[in-house]
Amino acid sequence: MNRSFWFCIAFFQLFAISISAQESQHQISIRHDNDLYFLIDQYYTAGTFLRYDQTIKSTALESKQWHIQLSQELYTPSTKTQADSIFFDRPFAGILRLNTGIQSVQSQTAWFFDFNYALIGPQSKSDDVHQNFHKLIDEQRPVWNYQMPNKHHVNLSVENWQEFETTLPLFTKMRVENKVSLGTLDNYLQTGLNLDLNRNGSLNRSLSAGILNAKESFVLSTGFYYRYQIYDARIEGHLVNREAVFKRSIVDHIVMVKSSLKYQMDNIRLQLWYVQQTRKSIHVDKHRYLGIQVGFLF
């Protein structure tokens, strides 16, 4: 028995070494967004994401990956325990979303294509999750009155990055990032400027683009973005059939600041995001939240 035990230990050690020695082709990760880190609980209050990534192509010239992701997102007004909608600065909205997409990253250019299928309303079970969490921490439960009704949504998005060398102090890489999102969930045009701190190497080998076979172990990025918001079903109701009892109008112009830290140690990848944005409706205030993601590569 003792001999079998040591054999198993040696086998798993060799297995772990062999995994870490070869290039990673897959990643399973879990991410959680929350504004509770800043002692607030409103607007985009929480999101949980389970994701799988797979390498399709990995050469010196191009890295191509595919992913699929399941997520649940919670959106609430700032006043959540009053039963009357006159106290709501935005509607309650819960989303259960399935996302799949592909990305192609070259030395200085990247393309991201995503398809989203989403369920909004009580069918997402977001109200149950939020109320049970407040019960667990012994706080008054959110009412979730007049939430967005059950609807199905589809969305397509395309994003392009163009990266350049820069002579700015501390920042070695600069990217122009443009994105278009179209569908019944949200419609917007977005552009931004992103800077990487002391990063070397090409984009298709960088943690910046989420490449599984990145040649660096650490990157710190900061970006400034402008979004022209055309439509948002989480605030305005369904684009085609607007049956929501309570809804609000959105503002056209949104400015965002995003900072991220990505660190990889062996086959574990840790990512942190900080996002702050101006108001999405004339009735709400600016908002900020933090995202944490842990991934395992194999």
Beta strands in 23-150 (DSSP E): 26-34, 43-58, 62-76, 93-106, 109-120
What's the pTM value of the predicted model, to 2 decimals? 0.89
Per-residue pLDDT reduced to its tens digit, 235-274:
999 988 778 999 999 999 999 999 999 999 999 999 999 9
Residue ranges making up the domain that contains 152: 26-297
For residue 178, what pLDDT is reported?
Answer: 98
In a domain, 126, yes or no: yes
In a domain, 7, yes or no: no
CATH number at residue 83: 2.40.128.140
In a domain, 216, yes or no: yes
Question: What does the block give as tokens for 181?
Answer: 């999102």
In a domain, 54, yes or no: yes
In a domain, 17, yes or no: no
Three-state SS at 82:
coil
Residue 267 DSSP symbol: T
pLDDT at 22 over 80: no
The residue with tokens 């997520």 is 71
Q: Which residues pair with 70 in a beta bridge?
A: 50, 98
Residue 14 — very low, low, confident or very high, per pLDDT cuts 50/70/90?
very low
The residue with tokens 């660190």 is 263
Q: Which residues pair with 33 in a beta bridge?
A: 47, 291
In a domain, 167, yes or no: yes
Contact 226, 254 (CB under 8 A): yes
Cβ count within 10 A of residue 161: 22
Q: How many domains are contained in the chain?
A: 1
